[in-house]
Structure 1
Amino acid sequence: MKYVVVGGVAGGATAAARLRRIDEKVEIVLFEKGDYISYANCGLPYYIGGVIEDRSKLFVQTPQAFSKRFNIDIRVASQVVSIDRANKKVSVRTADGKEYEESYDKLLLSPGAKPSVPPIPGIDNEFIFTLRNVSDTDKIKNYITTHEVKNAVIIGAGFIGLEMAENLHEAGAHVSIVEMTPQVMAPIDFSMASIVHQHLIEKGVSLYLEKTVVGFTKREGGGVKVLLKSGEVIETDLVLLSIGVKPNNELAVAAGLEIGGTKGIKVNEYLQTSDEDIYAVGDAIEFPHPLTGKPWLNYLAGPANRQARIVADNMIYGNKTKYEGAIGTSIAKVFDMTVAITGIAAKRLGCDGIEYMSATVHPNSHAGYYPDAFPLSLKLTFDKNSGKVYSVQAVGYDGVDKRIDVASQIIKRGGTIYDIIEIEQAYAPPFSSAKDPLALAGYVATNILEKRMNPLYWRELRDADINTVTLIDVRTADEYEVGHIDGAINIPVDSMRERMSEIDSSKPIWLYCGVGLRGYLASNILLQNGFTNVRNLVGGLKTYKSSTAELPVPANIYKTFKYSEEKRFQIDNLRVTELYKEDGDDDKTASSIKIDACGLSCPGPLMKLKKNMEVLKKGDILEVTATDAGFPSDARSWAETTGNEFISSSENAGKYVVKLKKNETMKVVEQQSNAQLGKTFIMFSDDLDKALATFVLANGASAIGGKVSIFFTFWGLNVIKKVEKPKSEHDIFGKMFGMMLPSSSLQLKLSKLNMFGIGSRMMRYLMNKKKIDSLESLRQQAIDNGIEFIACQMSMDVMGVNREELLDNVVIGGVGTYMNRADKSNINLFI
C-alpha cells in the first residue's frame, strides 16, 4: 500500500508519522512545496520580535531527521500541481521546473491556507509583507535587521496581526493597526475587544478602526504611504498584511473534488473527500460546526493535528473513527494581556439567528489577598431556554488559559451553565479563589436564566433615553462623585432599604454598580419589596465604560521617538506630551513616595492615594501602583476635582502605575467658602454593617474634600466607645444600659443574618480575607482624615454614657451643633 501526503506542515507531517507508527511496511511519500516541514508556524512572530532568538528552535524536525526516524520519503521544494484521480497519480513540479508523476493508493491533502492579498493599487510595493511561512519570516526579519524601521503599519487586527504588533513594537517600531471593522480580534465580542483596545493604546499602538485601505504609494526617501478611504495618510517604513487567510483549494478544485460553501474542501465525518481514496485535513477543509451544524473553516493547529491522527487511522483501517468537529478554541498573547475564546461569540450567534443570553463578570484571577491578583474578565453566552453554553470569552493577565480550556470541554460535550458551576476546580490562594471566576460566571448566568435577575446590557443603556427610566448608581457616594453615568442618581446598596421611597417606580428602574454584584443585591432588595420592572447592568460600569469609550485619534508621532523604559509618552488625541525630564531638570527640593495598592478593589486605591497625598508638600510626586484597571481614570478625575496635577499613567503586566504632583492648595478647599461642600452624617444605629457604610461614605466624602462631620446619637454612641475604658460612676439606669448594650465597636452585630453573632464574625473574617479595612481601621482613617466626631449630649445623658468612655477625639454637642454643621452642608445622611 502506498500513501502520498501533500503538505508537510502540522496536519500533513503528523499524519505521515502516524501512518508509519501504525504500519512499518507501507510506502509513504510526503511532498512539501517549501523547504521546511513540521515547523512552529505559530512561533514565527516571536522570532521576528526577538523573543525567540534561535531560528533553529522553530523547527520541530528537519526533513532529514524526520525521514530517518520514520522511514518516510520526504521531498521538499516539490509542489504537487495536479491530481489524476482516474489513474491515481499526482504531477509534481520541482524547484528547477522539472515535472514528474507519482502514483498513490490513498492520497491525503493538507495544503493549508494562504494569505488574502486584495488587488489594492501599490500592493506589490517592496515594503509590504505577508506572514504565513518561514520564507515570509526570513524576509521580514532580514528587512528589519538591515533597515531602520521606526514605524510599522499592520493591515488587519486578527490574532496574527496583534501578535505581530507586539513583536514589531519589541523590535523598536511604533505600530499602527488599520482595521476595517469596529474592533480588533473578530472572533470575540466588541465588549471584550474594547478591553484589548485600551491595552493597546496604553502600549502606544495607534488604532485606526473602521478604516479601509484604498492604496499604497512610495514615500520619498524610502518606505510607503498607506492611503485610507477617509483621506488619512500614514507614512511608514514597513507594512504587514494580516487581512486574513483563505483555503488553499486550487489543487482540489482542479481535480474536481467537491468544494463547500465556504470554499473549503468538503469532507465527511471520516475526513474523506468526495473521492473515496482522497482525504483532507487542516486549514483547507470545511467541516460542520458542532454547535450550529453549519459548515465553517477553522484555522487552528490543534484541530489540524487531531484530524491528522484520525485520518491516518481511517486510511489504514478503513473509516472507523469519526471526527467530532472543532468549536474554535483559540488564545493569543497581546502584549501583557491574554485573550481567548471557545465556542461561538454572541455577535455570530445573532447573525445565525440563535437566541442567547450572556453573563459578564470581572473577578480577580486568584484570591485578592494573595499578591499579584490581576483582574480577569469573563463573558459567558448560553441558550435562553436550556442554558446550553455557546461560548466563553476571557481577557486578562493570568489564568485565562485555564478557564478557557475547562470551558471548551463543557461546550464540546453540549454542557450547560449548570455543568459549569458543578466543576470542581483546584483551589489555593496563588491559583484561584474559593469561588472560581468561571464558576462565578456560571452563578450569574443561572441567576439570569432562572429570572432572579433581569439583565440590562451595555448597548441598551447606551442607546436609551435616560429620561424614560430611573437610573440608579448603587455604588458608594465617593465612587459616584469620582464619576458616574449622566442622569443617574446615587442610592448606595447599603442604603437601599431606607431610601426606597425616593425611587420613582412609575418608570423602569435600571441599576448599575462597578462590576454587577452590588447591582444584583440592590435588584433583589427592590424586587422583594414590591418593585417589578427592575434591571441590573451586566458587567457593571466596567463593561459599560470600556465598551463606550471613545478611542483617541491616532497621532503621527513615530517619527520623533522610539519607546523605551526610560522615556514614556502619552497620546491625547493629536497632542503628544513628553512625560519625562532630561537629567538635571528635576526640582531638587521635591521628593516622591511610592505606594502599593495592588489587590485592592475600588475605592481602596483611591483612598490610599488621597491619604498619602495629604502628607506631601507642594511639588512632591506620589506614585501609586494598583491592579484595578479603573484606577487611572479615577485618579485623573480625583486630580481634576482636587486641583492636583495628574502627571501620567502607565501599565506593565497588568499593574497600573499612576503619578501625581501635589499642588499647594486644593480646589475644593479654596471653594469651601461657598458653604456648599460640607457633608454631614447622623449615626443613629449601632449595627456593624451600617457603621461600616457610614465610615466608608465619610472617608469617601473626605477624599473629595470639604468639611465632614458625623453626629453620633442614641445607639450610634456604641460605635465610638473605647475598648479599654476607665472606671466611671453610673446610676442604676446607666448600669442597666451598660449591661444590655455593646461595650465597644468590637461587639457590634449585623442588622440582618446576625445569627447570634456568627454573622458579624463571618463579616469580619470575609473583610479581612478580601483585604477590606475593618470598622476600627475605617474609623481611625476618618480620625486621621480630620472628620469631626460629635456625640449627642442628650443621648449620653439618657443612656448613662460618660465622656471618658468615648474616643478621645470626640467632641460633645447637641442639636444646635448638628444644625450648624447641616446648614453648611449640601449632603445630610441619616444612618
Structure 2
Amino acid sequence: MKILIVGGVAGGATAAARIRRNTEEAEIILFEKGAYISYAVFCLKKKIGGVIEERERLFVQTPEAFGKRFNIDVRTHSEVTAIDRSMKKVTVRTAEGKIYTESYDKLLLSPGASPVRPPLKGIDSKGIFTLRNVNDTDRIKQYLNEKQVRRAVIVGGGFIGLEMAENLVHAGVEVSVVEMADQVMGPIDYSMASLVHEHLTQKGVKLYLSQAVEAFEQTDAGLDVAFKSDTRLQVDMVILSIGVRAETRLASEAGLKLGEMKGIYVDEYLQTSDKDIYAVGDAIEFPHPVTGKPWLNFLAGPANRQARIVADNLVFGNQVKYEGSIGTSIAKVFDLTVASTGLPAKRLKQMGIDYLSSTTHSASHAGYYPGALQMAIKITYSPKDGKLYGAQVVGCDGVDKRIDEFALVIKQGGTVYDLTRLEHAYAPPFSSAKDPVAIAGYVAGNILSGKMTPLYWRELRDADLSRVTLVDVRTQDEFELGAIPGAVNLPLDELREHLDEIPQDKPVWVYCGVGLRGYLASNILKGNGFKDVRNLIGGLKTYQSAVTPVCLPMETCPPQTEKEAACVCPAEDKPVAEVIKVNACGVQCPGPILKLKKGMGSLQPGQCLEVSATDAGFPRDAESWCRTTGNRFLSKTEENGVYRVRIEKAKSVTEAAPNVVRGGKGKTFILFSDDLDKTLATFVLANGAAATGEKVTIFFTFWGLNAIKKEQKPQVKKDFFGKMFGMMLPSDSRKLKLSKMNMGGIGSKMMRHIMKQKGVDSLESLRQQAIDNGVEFIACQMSMDVMGVKREELLDCVSIGGVATYMERAGEANMNLFI
C-alpha cells in the first residue's frame, strides 16, 4: 500500500511514524513545503526571547534522521499543489520549480493553518511579521538584531500574541498590545482576563484594548501604526497575531466537502468525503464533545491524537473512532500561567446554553508551607444536573495540573460532583488536603443545592444599591483599607450580634475577600430568617479586578473613591543607603499589613522598608495603609507570584499629602467572653487598629481573663472558691472553646487546624502580635477578685486596672467595642 502524507509538522509526522510502527509493508512518502518537519511550533516564541538559546532544540527530528529511522521518503521543499481524485494522483512542485505527479492508494492531508494577514493599507511594509514557522522565527530574530528594535506593537491579544509580548520584553523591547476586543485571551471570560491585564501592566506592557488597527505606514523613523480611533504609534516592528485560518485550498479545489465552519469535513474515523483520503490537524472541523456542533481547533495535542488514530485506520481499516476535542490550552504570560478547557461563560451565552458559574481563589499548595501562591479558578456547568462545561485557571503555580483534571472530567461527560470525588495526592508542598479542584466542586455543589445563592460581579456593578443591603463581612481593618461604596461592615464573627441592624424587607447581599466568609455569613442570615440572601462569587478579589478599568496608556484613570483621590502616587524606586526587608509570604490578610506596621515601627524617619508577600491584594492594601498613616509609598513589583512593596517612613506628619485620611484618637475593646472565635476577633480587630498607628486598649473582664493566662503558671495560694473557679475555667488560651459548634472540644480543634492549614495566625500568635504592636492589656481587678485569679497567673505585660482606668481610655478613644 502506498500512502502519501501532505504536511510534515505535528499531525503528518506523527501519523507517518505510527503507520511505520504498524506495518513494514507500506510505502510512505511525506511532503512538506518548508525545510523542516516535526518542530515545536509553540517554542518559536521562546527562541526569539532567548529562553531557548540553541536553534536546533526546536526540532524533534531532522528530515534525514526521521526518514532513516522509520524508512520514510521525506521530501522537504515540496508543495502539493493539486489532487486528482479520479486518477488518485497528486501534483508536486519543488523549490526549484520542478513539477511532477505521485500516485497514491491512500492520502492523508495535514496542511495545518496559515496566519491571518488582513488587507490593511501598508500591511506589506518592511518590519511587519507573522509567526507560524521556523523561517518566520529566523526572520524576526535577524530583524531584532540588525535593526536594534526598541519598540514593537503586537496586533492581537491571544495566547500566541501575549507569549510573544513576554519574549520581546525579555529581549529588551518596549511592547504594546493592540486588541479589538475589550480583553486579551479570547478563550477565557473577562473576569479572568482582567487578572492578566493587571499582570501585563505590572510588567510594563502597554495595553490598547477595544482598539482596531486601520493602516501601517513606513517612515524614516520606522513604522507608523494608525488606529481607527485616530491614535498613532511610532514603532520599529509589528507582529501580527490576529489568528490563523484553516488551510483548505487544496481540499476545496479537489472537490472535498467542507463543513459549516469552512474546515475540511471528516467523519468519526477522520475520513473525508472521499473514502481514500483522510485529514487531521488544524484544517479539519469536528463536533465539539459538549455541544455536538462542529468547530475548528488549532491545537497540537488534538492533532497528534488524531494522527495516531488515522494511522491505525489507514493500516487496519476504520476501527478507531475519534471522540473530539474540548480545546484545552495553556500559556505562560510572564509569571502567570493561563489555562482554559471546555466552554467559557461568554461562549455558552452566545450559543443560548443555560449555565451557572462559580469562581474560587485557592493556594497552589498548603498555605503554611513556603511558596504557596494564589490561583483563580472559574468553572461553568449545567444548572440542571451539574454537568461540567468548562474551566479556566489563572495563577503562578500548579495551574497545569488542575486544568488537566478539569479537562478529564469534561471529556468524560462528568459533573461538578465528580470534581469532589477525584483523589488527589496530598502533601503540603504540592496541594492542600482540600485541593483547589475539589473546592471548586464543593462551591458549585452548594450553588446547585440552593445552599448558597450566587451574586455575580456584573450584577453588583450594575445594581441600584438603594434597593438592597450590601454587607461587607470582612474584619474592620480590612474594611478600612478599601471596600465597595455603599457597603456596611459587619464582620462575620460579630454578625449574629448585629442581625437587628439588617433590614429584613430588602435583599441582603454579602461579600468578603474571596467568597468563603460570605458563604458562611449567608448561612447565618438564612438560618435567622432572612429570605433573600446572596453571596458575591469570587469575593472582592474578583469584583475589584473585573471592574477596574484598563485605561489607554496615554490616559490617567480617575480615582474610584475619595480615598484613592487622596493617594500619594507611587514614586520611582530610589536608591537608599539601606533597605530593611520583611518577609510576609504565605501570610493571609491582615497579616502582611501587621508585619508592615511592625517593621515601620523599627525604622527611623526617611528609612525604607521592603515587604514581600504572596497575597495579590497586598500592594493595594499597602497603598491604602500609606494613605491612612501618611507614610510614602515608593514602589511595587511582582515576580513569580511574590509581591514586593517599598515604603519610606515619613519624616514628619506634614510630609503626608494634605488630603490623607487619618485615624481617630484610639480604640478600646472590652473582652467579656472566653469563646475562642470571639477572642480571635478581638485580637484581629485590635491588631488592625494598631497597624494604623492608633492607641489601642483591651480591657479583660470576667471570662475574658482566660485569654491572658500563662500556660506555665506558678503555684499560688487560693481560697476554696478560687480553687473551684480554677477547676471549672479554662487554664489558658489553648483551652478556649467555640461559641457555636464546639462539639465537646472537636470544634475548637478543627478551627485551629483549619486556621493553620489556611496560613491564618493562631490565637496565641495574634495575641503576641498585639503585644508587639503596643496594644495595652488591662485586667479588671474586680473580676480577678471574684474569680480568684491571681496576678502571677496572667501574662507579664498585663496591667491591673478598674472601671476608672477603662473609662479614662474610653474617653480618649473614638470607638469602643464590647465583645
Whether the TM-score (by the shorter chain) exceeds 0.5 is yes
2:572: which partner in 1? Answer: 579
Partner deviation per Cα, 1:266-313 (whole Å, 9 max, x = no partner): 111111111111111100001110000111000000100111111121
Residue type at the aligned position of 1:171: A
Query: Which one of the candidate residues 769, 773, 789 is aligned to 1:785?
Result: 773
- Structure 2 counterpart SS, 1:498: helix
Whether contact under 8 Å (2:306, 2:322) holds in the other structure is yes
Residue type at the aligned position of 2:143: Y
Residue type at the aligned position of 1:441: A
Asked if 1:625 is matched to 2:612, the reply is yes
1:60 deviates by: 1.3
1:598: which partner in 2? Answer: 585
2:633: which partner in 1? Answer: 646
Q: How does 1:387-786 map to 2 (within 5 A)?
A: 387-555=386-554, 579-581=572-574, 586=575, 588=577, 591-665=578-652, 676-726=664-714, 728=716, 730-786=718-774
Once residues 640 and 5 of structure 1 are traced to their aligned partners in structure 2, the CA distance between those partners, rounded to angstroms, is 66
Residue type at the aligned position of 1:297: L
Once residues 233 and 757 of structure 1 are traced to their aligned partners in structure 2, the CA distance between those partners, rounded to angstroms, is 68
2:181: which partner in 1? Answer: 181
Which moved further from structure 2: 54-63 or 470-479?
A: 54-63
RMSD of equivalent CA atoms:
2.3
Q: How does 1:152-167 map to 2 (within 5 A)?
A: 152-167=152-167
Q: How does 1:11-50 map to 2 (within 5 A)?
A: 11-50=11-50
Q: Which runs of 5+ in 1 are unaligned?
A: 558-571
Partner deviation per Cα, 1:55-90 (whole Å, 9 max, x = no partner): 111111122222212222222111111111111111
Once residues 40 and 88 of structure 1 are traced to their aligned partners in structure 2, the CA distance between those partners, rounded to angstroms, is 32
Partner deviation per Cα, 1:443-485 (whole Å, 9 max, x = no partner): 1111111111001111111111111111111111100111111
2:137: which partner in 1? Answer: 137
Whether contact under 8 Å (2:570, 2:635) holds in the other structure is no
1:786 deviates by: 2.0
Once residues 637 and 556 of structure 1 are traced to their aligned partners in structure 2, the CA distance between those partners, rounded to angstroms, is 23
Whether contact under 8 Å (1:676, 1:824) holds in the other structure is no
Whether contact under 8 Å (2:452, 2:534) holds in the other structure is yes
Residue type at the aligned position of 2:244: V
Once residues 465 and 42 of structure 2 are traced to their aligned partners in structure 1, the CA distance between those partners, rounded to angstroms, is 47
Once residues 426 and 53 of structure 2 are traced to their aligned partners in structure 1, the CA distance between those partners, rounded to angstroms, is 36
Whether contact under 8 Å (2:571, 2:633) holds in the other structure is no
Whether contact under 8 Å (1:675, 1:824) holds in the other structure is no
**TM-score with structure 1 length normalisation?**
0.94
Once residues 576 and 341 of structure 1 are traced to their aligned partners in structure 2, the CA distance between those partners, rounded to angstroms, is 36
Asked if 1:807 is matched to 2:786, the reply is no
Once residues 410 and 769 of structure 1 are traced to their aligned partners in structure 2, the CA distance between those partners, rounded to angstroms, is 27
1:563: which partner in 2? Answer: none
Whether contact under 8 Å (2:629, 2:662) holds in the other structure is no
**TM-score with structure 2 length normalisation?**
0.95
Once residues 135 and 475 of structure 1 are traced to their aligned partners in structure 2, the CA distance between those partners, rounded to angstroms, is 55
1:769 deviates by: 4.3
Mark the CA change 1:100 to 1:726 in structure 2 (over 3 Å): closer, same or farther: closer
- Structure 2 counterpart SS, 1:494: helix
Identity %: 64
- Structure 2 counterpart SS, 1:497: helix
1:565: which partner in 2? Answer: none
Once residues 288 and 177 of structure 1 are traced to their aligned partners in structure 2, the CA distance between those partners, rounded to angstroms, is 33
1:587 deviates by: 5.5
1:219 deviates by: 2.7
Residue type at the aligned position of 1:202: Q
Mark the CA change 1:669 to 1:136 in structure 2 (over 3 Å): closer, same or farther: closer
Residue type at the aligned position of 2:572: L
- Structure 1 counterpart SS, 2:440: helix
1:690 deviates by: 0.9
Report the number of matched residues: 808
1:798 deviates by: 3.0
- Structure 2 counterpart SS, 1:90: strand
Once residues 333 and 444 of structure 2 are traced to their aligned partners in structure 1, the CA distance between those partners, rounded to angstroms, is 28
Whether contact under 8 Å (2:569, 2:633) holds in the other structure is no
Partner deviation per Cα, 1:729-784 (whole Å, 9 max, x = no partner): 54443333233222332332221232333333343344344443222222222222
Q: How does 1:263-278 map to 2 (within 5 A)?
A: 263-278=262-277
Residue type at the aligned position of 2:679: A
Mark the CA change 1:530 to 1:254 in structure 2 (over 3 Å): closer, same or farther: same
Q: How does 1:224-373 map to 2 (within 5 A)?
A: 224-373=223-372
Which moved further from structure 2: 377-386 or 240-249?
A: 377-386
1:609 deviates by: 0.5
Once residues 720 and 75 of structure 2 are traced to their aligned partners in structure 1, the CA distance between those partners, rounded to angstroms, is 104
Once residues 528 and 130 of structure 1 are traced to their aligned partners in structure 2, the CA distance between those partners, rounded to angstroms, is 59
Whether contact under 8 Å (1:735, 1:800) holds in the other structure is yes
Once residues 647 and 570 of structure 2 are traced to their aligned partners in structure 1, the CA distance between those partners, rounded to angstroms, is 15
1:196: which partner in 2? Answer: 196
Asked if 1:822 is matched to 2:815, the reply is no
1:569: which partner in 2? Answer: none
Mark the CA change 1:246 to 1:670 in structure 2 (over 3 Å): closer, same or farther: closer
Once residues 327 and 89 of structure 1 are traced to their aligned partners in structure 2, the CA distance between those partners, rounded to angstroms, is 35
Once residues 115 and 804 of structure 1 are traced to their aligned partners in structure 2, the CA distance between those partners, rounded to angstroms, is 79
Residue type at the aligned position of 2:179: E
1:726 deviates by: 5.0
Once residues 689 and 751 of structure 1 are traced to their aligned partners in structure 2, the CA distance between those partners, rounded to angstroms, is 7
Once residues 813 and 210 of structure 1 are traced to their aligned partners in structure 2, the CA distance between those partners, rounded to angstroms, is 64
1:202 deviates by: 1.0
Once residues 28 and 781 of structure 1 are traced to their aligned partners in structure 2, the CA distance between those partners, rounded to angstroms, is 73
1:97 deviates by: 2.1
Once residues 178 and 759 of structure 1 are traced to their aligned partners in structure 2, the CA distance between those partners, rounded to angstroms, is 54
Which moved further from structure 2: 816-825 or 243-252?
A: 816-825
Whether contact under 8 Å (1:114, 1:132) holds in the other structure is yes
Whether contact under 8 Å (1:669, 1:705) holds in the other structure is no
- Structure 2 counterpart SS, 1:93: strand
Mark the CA change 1:227 to 1:670 in structure 2 (over 3 Å): closer, same or farther: closer
- Structure 2 counterpart SS, 1:716: helix
Partner deviation per Cα, 1:175-231 (whole Å, 9 max, x = no partner): 11000001111001111111111111111111111110001112323x201111111
- Structure 1 counterpart SS, 2:363: coil
1:665 deviates by: 4.0
- Structure 1 counterpart SS, 2:789: coil
